[in-house]
Amino acid sequence: MNKLLVGLIAGTFALVTASAFADDKTPAQPVDQAKLKADRDAAKAAAANMTPEEKAAAKKAKRAAHAKEEAQIEKSGNIPNGPLKAEAIKKNVDATKNDPKALPTKADKQKALKAQEKQSSGQ
């Protein structure tokens, strides 16, 4: 009886908390559209007033930031795709080519174990 009661209470608790999370209707943060538009227009005006040298410097800085970000992604091990994926697979295959193969039968396993024991004991 006690196990049934505990199970019933736990199930009710789980159901109530799940419905409370599902009913979370907090409003989204209000965004001041006028301020965003003013900021965008100011950025456009600033870009229009730039000299060609300033524009080139801005492009160069943006490219450098993008290259730094790409290098960070490559360094952290982003999943490759396309030709890079094929190259990564080939590299992995080449690295594991000399790994010992799984032995299919118990007799083969015992034979390999004895050979390994002889080799490690120096005989």
Q: What amino acid occupies position 10?
A: A
What's the structural domain count of the chain?
Answer: 1
- Residue 50 counted as domain residue: yes
Q: How many helices (H) and strands (E) are present in the chain, helices listed first?
A: 5, 0
In sequence order, what are the residues at sequence separation of 6 or more whose Cβ sits closer than 8 angstroms to the Cβ of residue 58?
Answer: 50
User: Tell me, what's the pLDDT at 24?
Assistant: 61
User: Tell me, what's the pLDDT at 21?
Assistant: 63
Query: pTM higher than 0.75 for the full model?
Result: no
- Residue 8 counted as domain residue: no
User: Tell me, what's the pLDDT at 30?
Assistant: 79
Cα gap 120→66, rounded to integer Å: 53
User: Tell me, what's the pLDDT at 80?
Assistant: 64
Token representation of residue 39: 């900021």
User: Tell me, what's the pLDDT at 62?
Assistant: 93
User: Tell me, what's the pLDDT at 78?
Assistant: 61
Q: What is the pLDDT along the chain (123 residues), one digit of tens a residue?
A: 788 877 878 878 776 676 666 666 666 677 888 899 999 999 999 989 999 999 999 999 999 999 988 887 777 666 666 777 778 788 888 888 877 777 778 888 888 888 888 888 765
- Residue 84 counted as domain residue: yes
Q: Please give the residue range of the domain that contains residue 60.
A: 35-94
In sequence order, what are the residues at sequence separation of 6 or more whose Cβ sits closer than 8 angstroms to the Cβ of residue 79?
Answer: 85
For 29, 36, 38, 42, 44, the CA distances from 32, given in Å and listed in that order, are 10, 6, 10, 16, 19
- Residue 66 counted as domain residue: yes
- Residue 24 counted as domain residue: no
Query: Are the C-beta atoms of 109 and 103 separated by less than 8 Å?
Result: yes
- Residue 100 counted as domain residue: no
- Residue 56 counted as domain residue: yes
